[in-house]
Structure 1
Amino acid sequence: MSAGNTQAPERIGPYRLVRKIGEGGMGVVHLGLDEDGREVAIKVLHPHVAADLKARDRLIREVETMRRVRSPFVASVLDAELVGREPYVVTRFAPGRTLEDIVLSDGPLGAREVIRLAQGLCQALVAIHAADVIHRDLKPSNVMMVNGEPLVIDFGIAHLVNATRLTQTGMFVGTPGYLAPEIIRDAEITQKADVHALASTVFFAAAGVPPFGTGAFEVICYNIMEGRPQLDKAPVWLRGWLARALAVDPDERPTAQELLRMARALDPRVTTFNEVPPPNRSTPSGTKVLPSKQTYSDLLPPVEYGRPAPEPPRTRRQPEVKPPPYVPAPMSARPVAPPPRPDQRVAGYPAPPYTPPAYTPPRQRKKYVVGSQLVGGLLLAALVGLTVMMPVVMSVVGITLALVLRMGEYLFGDLVKRRQARGGASAADPLLVVVGTPWALVKSFLITLVHVPLALLFGLCVYGVARWGGGFDTNQAIAYAAGGLVAGLFVLPGGGAPRKAVARTLTSVLRTPGAALVAALVAGTAAVIVVMFALGQEPTWEPWRAPSTVLKELTDNARDSATGLVTGMIDDLMRSLGLGFLSPWGP
Structure 2
Amino acid sequence: MSSTPSASLFKPLQEGDPGDVGGYRLAAVLGTGGMGKVYLSYTPGGRPIALKVIRPEFSEDPEFRRRFKQEVQAAQRVQGLYTAPVIDFDTDGAQPWLATAYVPGPSLAHAVAQHGGLPLRSVLLLTVGVAEALTVIHGAGIVHRDLKPANVLLASDGPRVIDFGIARAADTTALTGTGVSVGTPAFMAPEQASAGTVTPATDVFALGQIAAFAAIGSPAYGEGSSHAVLYRIVHEDPDLSRLPTELLPMVTRCLSREPADRPSLTEIIGLCHELSPTALHQGEDWLPQTVADSITERLRLPGPARTPQPMPTVAPTPTEVSPSTPPPGTVDPYAPTGLATPSAPGAPGPVRPRAPEPPAPGHHTATPGYPANHTPPPVTHQPSAPQVRQKSRRTGLIVAASVVGTLVVLGVIGSLLSDGGGKEENKGAGAPATSSGPTGGDGGAGAGQQRKDPKPVSYQGIDLTDGYQLMLADNPPRPVQSEDAAYDGGDLYFKVVNFLDESSIGTDNGKLVLLDNARKGSLETCRTETRYTEKIDLDQLTQGSQICVLSDAGHVAVATYRGRSSESDPGSYVTLDLQIWRNAQETDGN
TM-score (norm 2): 0.49
Higher strand share: 2
> Bigger radius of gyration, 1 or 2?
1
Kindly indicate whether structure 1 or structure 2 has the higher relative contact order, using CA contacts under 8 Å at least 6 residues apart. Answer: 2
